[in-house]
Chain A
Protein backbone atom coordinates (compact mmCIF):
# COMPACT_ATOMS: atom_id res chain seq x y z
CA UNK A 1 0.00 0.00 0.00
CA UNK A 2 1.31 3.46 -0.88
CA UNK A 3 0.99 6.15 1.78
CA UNK A 4 2.04 9.76 1.29
CA UNK A 5 2.95 12.24 4.01
CA UNK A 6 3.63 15.92 3.41
CA UNK A 7 5.38 18.16 5.87
CA UNK A 8 4.63 20.83 6.91
CA UNK A 9 0.83 20.75 6.69
CA UNK A 10 0.75 24.56 6.46
CA UNK A 11 3.36 27.22 5.91
CA UNK A 12 3.23 31.01 5.98
CA UNK A 13 6.20 32.98 4.67
CA UNK A 14 6.97 36.57 3.64
CA UNK A 15 7.32 37.34 -0.03
CA UNK A 16 10.77 36.67 -1.48
CA UNK A 17 11.71 33.73 0.73
CA UNK A 18 13.03 30.47 -0.67
CA UNK A 19 11.18 27.48 0.72
CA UNK A 20 11.16 23.68 0.70
CA UNK A 21 8.13 21.41 0.81
CA UNK A 22 8.69 17.80 1.83
CA UNK A 23 6.98 14.63 0.67
CA UNK A 24 7.58 11.08 1.85
CA UNK A 25 6.08 7.88 0.49
CA UNK A 26 6.16 4.30 1.73
CA UNK A 27 6.46 2.25 -1.50
CA UNK A 28 9.67 3.18 -3.32
CA UNK A 29 8.90 0.98 -6.36
CA UNK A 30 7.60 3.95 -8.34
CA UNK A 31 8.08 4.85 -12.01
CA UNK A 32 7.46 8.58 -11.58
CA UNK A 33 6.14 11.21 -9.18
CA UNK A 34 4.13 14.35 -9.84
CA UNK A 35 3.82 17.62 -7.96
CA UNK A 36 0.56 19.56 -8.26
CA UNK A 37 -0.80 22.91 -7.19
CA UNK A 38 -4.42 23.36 -6.13
CA UNK A 39 -6.15 26.70 -5.58
CA UNK A 40 -9.17 26.66 -3.23
CA UNK A 41 -12.14 24.85 -4.75
CA UNK A 42 -10.32 24.30 -8.04
CA UNK A 43 -8.79 21.40 -9.92
CA UNK A 44 -5.14 20.36 -9.82
CA UNK A 45 -2.46 21.95 -11.97
CA UNK A 46 0.51 19.73 -12.81
CA UNK A 47 3.75 21.46 -11.87
CA UNK A 48 6.44 18.86 -12.42
CA UNK A 49 6.75 15.21 -13.39
CA UNK A 50 9.90 13.44 -12.22
CA UNK A 51 10.64 10.14 -13.92
CA UNK A 52 12.12 7.36 -11.80
CA UNK A 53 15.45 7.64 -13.66
CA UNK A 54 15.75 11.34 -12.84
CA UNK A 55 16.89 12.91 -9.60
CA UNK A 56 15.72 16.47 -10.33
CA UNK A 57 13.34 18.38 -12.53
CA UNK A 58 13.11 22.15 -12.92
CA UNK A 59 10.45 24.52 -14.18
CA UNK A 60 11.04 28.23 -13.71
CA UNK A 61 11.33 28.98 -9.98
CA UNK A 62 10.39 25.41 -9.09
CA UNK A 63 12.79 22.53 -8.57
CA UNK A 64 11.73 19.06 -7.50
CA UNK A 65 14.05 16.29 -6.40
CA UNK A 66 13.39 12.57 -6.01
CA UNK A 67 15.20 10.03 -3.85
CA UNK A 68 13.46 6.73 -4.45
CA UNK A 69 15.64 4.72 -2.08
CA UNK A 70 14.65 6.85 0.89
CA UNK A 71 11.06 7.41 -0.29
CA UNK A 72 11.37 11.19 -0.40
CA UNK A 73 10.74 14.06 -2.75
CA UNK A 74 11.16 17.77 -2.14
CA UNK A 75 9.76 20.80 -3.95
CA UNK A 76 11.92 23.91 -3.78
CA UNK A 77 10.29 27.27 -4.56
CA UNK A 78 12.67 30.16 -5.13
CA UNK A 79 11.83 33.80 -4.45
CA UNK A 80 8.25 33.09 -3.38
CA UNK A 81 5.44 35.42 -4.51
CA UNK A 82 1.89 35.99 -3.21
CA UNK A 83 0.62 34.25 -6.36
CA UNK A 84 2.32 31.07 -5.16
CA UNK A 85 -0.24 30.81 -2.34
CA UNK A 86 -2.04 27.50 -2.82
CA UNK A 87 -2.02 23.89 -1.62
CA UNK A 88 0.83 21.80 -3.01
CA UNK A 89 0.34 18.06 -3.43
CA UNK A 90 2.84 15.36 -4.31
CA UNK A 91 1.59 12.14 -5.85
CA UNK A 92 3.49 8.96 -6.59
CA UNK A 93 1.68 6.08 -8.31
CA UNK A 94 -0.01 3.45 -6.21
CA UNK A 95 -0.14 -0.35 -6.30
CA UNK A 96 -1.62 -2.13 -9.29
CA UNK A 97 -3.02 0.36 -11.76
CA UNK A 98 -3.64 3.21 -9.33
CA UNK A 99 -2.26 6.20 -11.25
CA UNK A 100 -1.72 8.53 -8.30
CA UNK A 101 -1.84 8.43 -4.50
CA UNK A 102 -2.12 11.73 -2.65
CA UNK A 103 -1.36 13.00 0.81
CA UNK A 104 -3.15 15.92 2.39
CA UNK A 105 -0.79 18.47 0.86
CA UNK A 106 0.99 21.55 2.19
CA UNK A 107 -1.04 24.76 2.34
CA UNK A 108 1.26 27.66 1.50
CA UNK A 109 0.55 31.33 2.18
CA UNK A 110 2.99 33.93 0.86
CA UNK A 111 2.47 37.29 2.51
CA UNK A 112 3.20 40.49 0.58
Chain B
Protein backbone atom coordinates (compact mmCIF):
# COMPACT_ATOMS: atom_id res chain seq x y z
CA UNK B 1 0.00 0.00 0.00
CA UNK B 2 1.22 3.48 -0.81
CA UNK B 3 1.94 5.76 2.09
CA UNK B 4 1.16 9.44 2.29
CA UNK B 5 2.29 11.22 -0.86
CA UNK B 6 3.06 14.91 -1.32
CA UNK B 7 3.79 17.07 -4.33
CA UNK B 8 5.87 18.80 -5.37
CA UNK B 9 9.03 17.62 -3.61
CA UNK B 10 10.75 20.99 -3.85
CA UNK B 11 9.53 24.43 -4.76
CA UNK B 12 11.22 27.82 -5.13
CA UNK B 13 9.11 30.98 -5.06
CA UNK B 14 9.71 34.69 -4.63
CA UNK B 15 8.25 36.98 -2.00
CA UNK B 16 4.64 37.94 -2.65
CA UNK B 17 3.84 34.89 -4.78
CA UNK B 18 1.26 32.24 -4.03
CA UNK B 19 1.90 28.49 -3.60
CA UNK B 20 -0.26 25.35 -3.55
CA UNK B 21 0.97 22.15 -1.95
CA UNK B 22 -0.80 18.82 -2.39
CA UNK B 23 -1.22 15.73 -0.25
CA UNK B 24 -2.79 12.32 -0.81
CA UNK B 25 -3.53 10.32 2.37
CA UNK B 26 -3.16 6.62 2.92
CA UNK B 27 -6.05 4.74 1.33
CA UNK B 28 -8.95 4.58 3.79
CA UNK B 29 -7.72 7.49 5.91
CA UNK B 30 -10.20 10.33 6.18
CA UNK B 31 -8.19 12.89 8.12
CA UNK B 32 -5.35 15.05 6.83
CA UNK B 33 -3.23 17.43 8.88
CA UNK B 34 -0.61 19.96 7.77
CA UNK B 35 2.53 20.96 9.64
CA UNK B 36 5.32 23.48 9.04
CA UNK B 37 8.85 22.62 10.07
CA UNK B 38 11.53 25.29 9.96
CA UNK B 39 15.17 24.29 10.20
CA UNK B 40 16.19 23.13 13.65
CA UNK B 41 12.66 23.04 15.05
CA UNK B 42 9.98 20.42 15.48
CA UNK B 43 6.92 20.50 13.20
CA UNK B 44 4.22 23.02 14.05
CA UNK B 45 0.52 22.30 13.47
CA UNK B 46 -1.25 24.36 10.79
CA UNK B 47 -4.58 22.66 9.95
CA UNK B 48 -6.54 19.46 10.38
CA UNK B 49 -9.31 18.36 8.04
CA UNK B 50 -11.67 15.44 8.55
CA UNK B 51 -14.42 14.42 6.18
CA UNK B 52 -13.79 17.60 4.17
CA UNK B 53 -14.35 19.92 7.10
CA UNK B 54 -11.80 21.92 9.06
CA UNK B 55 -11.43 20.42 12.52
CA UNK B 56 -8.49 22.36 13.86
CA UNK B 57 -6.32 25.35 13.09
CA UNK B 58 -2.95 26.29 14.54
CA UNK B 59 -1.55 29.75 15.17
CA UNK B 60 -0.90 30.77 11.56
CA UNK B 61 -2.00 33.92 9.69
CA UNK B 62 -4.94 34.01 7.28
CA UNK B 63 -2.50 33.83 4.38
CA UNK B 64 -2.57 30.09 5.05
CA UNK B 65 -5.63 28.16 3.93
CA UNK B 66 -6.45 24.57 3.09
CA UNK B 67 -9.19 22.34 1.85
CA UNK B 68 -9.97 18.64 1.58
CA UNK B 69 -11.55 17.06 -1.46
CA UNK B 70 -14.17 14.27 -1.71
CA UNK B 71 -11.38 11.72 -2.28
CA UNK B 72 -9.78 12.95 1.01
CA UNK B 73 -6.75 14.47 -0.69
CA UNK B 74 -5.87 17.95 0.47
CA UNK B 75 -4.30 21.22 -0.66
CA UNK B 76 -2.46 23.78 1.43
CA UNK B 77 -2.39 27.30 -0.02
CA UNK B 78 -0.14 30.11 1.10
CA UNK B 79 -0.65 33.64 -0.25
CA UNK B 80 1.70 36.63 -0.24
CA UNK B 81 4.75 34.53 0.56
CA UNK B 82 7.29 35.85 3.04
CA UNK B 83 10.91 34.81 3.48
CA UNK B 84 9.89 33.29 6.82
CA UNK B 85 7.56 30.84 5.06
CA UNK B 86 10.61 28.91 3.86
CA UNK B 87 10.26 25.51 5.51
CA UNK B 88 9.50 21.83 5.08
CA UNK B 89 5.72 21.38 4.84
CA UNK B 90 4.54 18.03 6.09
CA UNK B 91 1.24 16.31 5.59
CA UNK B 92 -0.03 13.57 7.90
CA UNK B 93 -3.00 11.27 7.51
CA UNK B 94 -4.96 9.24 10.04
CA UNK B 95 -8.09 7.12 10.13
CA UNK B 96 -10.02 9.39 12.45
CA UNK B 97 -10.27 13.09 13.08
CA UNK B 98 -11.14 12.93 16.76
CA UNK B 99 -9.42 12.21 20.03
CA UNK B 100 -9.02 8.47 19.75
CA UNK B 101 -6.20 6.64 21.48
CA UNK B 102 -5.88 4.48 18.36
CA UNK B 103 -5.48 7.45 16.05
CA UNK B 104 -1.93 7.07 14.72
CA UNK B 105 -0.58 9.80 12.45
CA UNK B 106 1.43 8.86 9.35
CA UNK B 107 3.54 11.46 7.60
CA UNK B 108 4.50 12.04 4.01
CA UNK B 109 7.98 12.97 2.75
CA UNK B 110 7.24 16.69 2.80
CA UNK B 111 7.53 19.60 0.37
CA UNK B 112 10.59 21.81 0.75
CA UNK B 113 9.54 25.43 0.05
CA UNK B 114 12.19 28.08 -0.46
CA UNK B 115 11.10 31.70 -0.68
CA UNK B 116 13.64 34.12 -2.19
Contact = CB atoms under 8 A, between A and B. Distances in A.
B101 A105 contact: no
Interface residues of B, number: 34
B85 to A, nearest CB: 17
A78 B31 CA distance: 34
Contacts of B94: 99
A89 B43 CA distance: 10
Nearest to A52: B101
B101 to A, nearest CB: 4
Interface of A: 4, 31-32, 34, 36, 41-46, 49, 51-53, 89, 91, 93-94, 96-105
12 contacts: A31-B100, A43-B107, A91-B42, A98-B58, A99-B92, A99-B103, A100-B43, A100-B105, A102-B43, A103-B42, A104-B40, A104-B42
